[in-house]
Amino acid sequence: MNAYRMLIDGRLVEGARTIAVIDPSTGESFADAHVADGAQLDEAVAAAARAFPDWAARSWSERSECLLEFARRLDEEADAFALLLVREQGKPWGEARYEVDATVRGIRFYAAVELKPEKRDHPTGAYEVERRPLGVVAGITPWNFPMILASNKYAPALITGNTVVLKPAPTTPLTTLELGRLAADVFPAGVFNIVADDNDMGARLTAHPDVAKVSFTGSTDTGKAVMRSAADDMKRVTLELGGNDPAIVLADADVEAAARGLAATVFLNAGQVCAAPKRLYVATEVYDDFRDRFVAATREIRLGAGDEDGVTLGPVQNRMQFDKVRGIIDEAASSGTVLTGGHVANRPGYFIEPTVIADLGDDAPLVTGEQFGPVVPLLRFDDEADAIVRANLGSYGLGASIWTRDVDRARQLARGISAGSVWINQHTAIHPDIPFGGVKQSGLGTEGGLEGVHEYTRLQVINVAA
């Protein structure tokens, strides 16, 4: 069996041991990944720390050239990466290919950034403000979008002059480890390190005294642990955490467009998207019409393995999540009305039918929690103000959407929603060149856009006596 290696200090290395990687469409292991022990993790951090001064001193254009060459090599192997992504993550081929392409585009966006020193006037004399790199950045990613989420960390970190230790989730390590094979020939030794683990090295990495910043994407509970462990030496953190996005369909919405647009985003990546619509609030005037169209659109979705022709919904990524989502569906089915779906598929692997459940109370676990799977509750509202109040319930605040023909009105309503992004007549419109981040317990800081790049820097003021 193929065993994928890690990148430490410019060399592809074996780990202390290997772990089996499961194909979620079969439930069987298909490859092994080398994983680090504590000593190897420390070696990766030490290599990144050694490489930092030289990398930080290089010009923006030198760093940019490395990133562009890395993007070119990834682009050249896009099909192979997408295929591996299908196998380890489960998503349909089209979504996997899109993820690889979006990753390449993202790296190129970051590679084009240059943060120039700024001279500012002041009554006491002019001073300069510069953005300086932080040092060693630890990037930690989850299993839903292993490629694109990682690129939103290493690319802005590297262009700004930091060095990186990247750690993927243990159930989807392979595409990230494969990046190491490309990076080994492109970046100077130690600049970009990639280690895998068996879900046991995250805490050691975030507590490491030589790590200057942790950029973490994952669950809110783990995000809190990261924040606590960063406190001792005041590491900088960017936390992209869970979400329970509301989508609000107003009475004047284009109901067909809303039903289609929401079905496409609710079930994207089998619902395992931090900023997927996870609760649908529909105005009572259009509720029945929306319900029928949304259910019809959901029934058109084809469930199957990611590499089967015509499949638009893959399996849930791992056994733990499969069991969790099944439990959520069973609980919701016992008090609500299942409009479509509700079952697991009769085949091996972690397949769950796309499921829509109506007639639940606002306190039902499917409404209050983050399902992170192919199931969504349909809720009714009588009055817009009430819809906004209900949309703001709970501790998450990642994304939200409003569906209406009156865009100006939607803009106004958006300001009353506690979410980092409010989309109008679309949802999950996330791009590397647009800032994205959560409020409340959905996260801290920003990824993407220039604002996201700034998070990998600290300000330095140089102020000469007049």
Catalytic residues: 240, 274
What is the smallest separation between the CB atom of 104 and ligand NAD, expressed in angstroms? Answer: 19
Does residue 203 touch ligand NAD according to CB under 6 A?
Answer: yes
Q: Is 206 in the site for ligand NAD (CB under 6 A)?
A: yes
HEC letters along the chain:
CCEECEEECCEEECCCEEEEEEECCCCEEEEEEEECCHHHHHHHHHHHHHHHHHHHHCCHHHHHHHHHHHHHHHHHCHHHHHHHHHHHHCCCHHHHHHHHHHHHHHHHHHHCCCCCCEEECCCCCCEEEEEEECCEEEEECCCCCHHHHHHHHHHHHHHCCCEEEEECCCCCCHHHHHHHHHHHCCCCCCCEEECCCCCCCHHHHHHCCCCCEEEEECCHHHHHHHHHHHHCCCCEEEEECCCCEEEEECCCCCHHHHHHHHHHHHCHHHHCCCCCEEEEEEEHHHHHHHHHHHHHHHHCCCECCCCCCCCCECCCCCHHHHHHHHHHHHHHHHHCEEEECCCECCCCCCCECCEEEECCCCCCHHHHCCCCCCEEEEEEECCHHHHHHHHCCCCCCCEEEEECCCHHHHHHHHCCCCCCEEEECCCCCCCCCCCECCCHHHEECCECHHHHHHCCEEEEEEECCC
Smallest distance from the beta carbon of 316 to ligand NAD, in angstroms? 12
Nearer to ligand NAD, 88 or 384 (CB): 88
Closer CB to ligand NAD, residue 95 or residue 384?
Answer: 95
Binding mask 27-66 for ligand NAD (x = CB under 6 A): ----------------------------------------
Q: Which is nearer to ligand NAD, 170 or 432 (CB)?
A: 170
From 29-37, 238-246, 330-338, 379-387, give the range in contact with ligand NAD by CB under 6 A: 238-246
Q: How far is the CB of 247 from ligand NAD (least distance, A)?
A: 16
Site for ligand NAD contains 241 (CB under 6 A): yes
**Mask for 311-350, x = binds ligand NAD (CB under 6 A):** ----------------------------------------
Contact flags string 5-24 toward ligand NAD, x per CB under 6 A: --------------------
Give the nearest distance from C-beta 437 to ligand NAD in angstroms: 8
Q: Does 242 bind ligand NAD (CB under 6 A)?
A: yes
* Interacting residue ranges for ligand NAD, rule: CB under 6 A: 140-144, 149, 167, 169-170, 199, 202-203, 206, 217-219, 222, 225-226, 240-243, 274, 370, 372, 398, 438, 443
